[in-house]
Amino acid sequence: MNARIRPVRPQLGDEAASFLRDQITSGTLAAGAPVRPETVADELGISTTPAREALQALRAEGFLDLAPRRGFTVAKVDGNDVRDMFLVQSMVAGELAARAASKATPETIAALDEIHTELTAAANRGDLASLEELNHAFHREINLAADAPRLAWVIKLVSRYAPRRFYASINGWPETTVHDHTGLLEAIRAGDAERARTEMTEHVRHAGEQLASHIDARIAAQG
């Protein structure tokens, strides 16, 4: 039965996957816990077909393990796992930034300038929600300018290991972001690919380290 009547039905499986991904990255679902298709189907008011689809997708993303005939279990995601994912992200994002610096058109730079101005304003008034969104927009613009869809795809994949709304919870993050983005933007404006790579790599690596310690602390507190 339908739990809800909704005007439009989005891809149910994707929604369920998002939901569970959040639960896993935020630590609500403990490592090793079994995840049954019917259970999540019941919880989300959907049927087992899309629920199962979601679980398969999460397995492909490395959030769930699947033992044949024995079902899905939550994969372990500790600080080192996140550290490694962010290491990959930092390397790939560095490459994208380098390419963006080489290829950037005046339009791209203008777009980045505008985003950066708004981002700085949001940081100054402490608007974390806007800040997070503008941060995303800034990075998306760079990834777009780099014109490397497969690298962007890898980034999307590994960046799922950061919980939604995580960045806003880091102390001092607004200032760091504004600072790092300023340097990055300078390098791109100057067309200095190698400096853009370094700036970006460091920027991402730094954020990853913060998240990883955060997770280590959480696991230490729990276990």
Give the residues lining the site for DNA (CB under 7 A). Answer: 1-2, 4, 8-13, 34, 36-38, 41, 45-50, 52-53, 66, 68-72
**65 Cβ contact partners less than 8 Å away, ≥ 6 residues apart:** 59, 72, 73, 74, 75
Selection from DNA, a second copy, none that 62 binds (CB < 5 to 8 A by kind) is a second copy
Selection from DNA, a second copy, none that 220 binds (CB < 5 to 8 A by kind) is none
Which among 124, 120, 125 is positioned nearest to 185, based on CA atoms? 120
Residue with tokens 């372990």: 76
Selection from a second copy, DNA, none that 148 binds (CB < 5 to 8 A by kind) is a second copy
Kindly tell me the sign of the dihedral angle through the C-alpha atoms of 39, 42, 44, 47: positive
Q: How many other C-beta atoms are found inside a 10 Å radius of the C-beta of residue 68?
A: 5
C-alpha to C-alpha distance for 220 and 42, rounded to whole angstroms: 32
Selection from DNA, a second copy, none that 48 binds (CB < 5 to 8 A by kind) is DNA
Window of 38-46, 152-160, 169-177, 209-217 that interacts with a second copy by CB under 8 A: 152-160
| Local structure of 149: helix, strand or coil | helix
Residue with tokens 């200032």: 175
Residue with smaller CB distance to DNA, 10 or 223: 10
Contacts (CB under 8 A) with a second copy, residues 158-197: 158
Residues that bind a second copy (CB under 8 A): 10-11, 13, 49, 52-53, 56-57, 60-62, 68, 80-81, 84-85, 87-88, 91-92, 95, 148-151, 153-154, 157-158
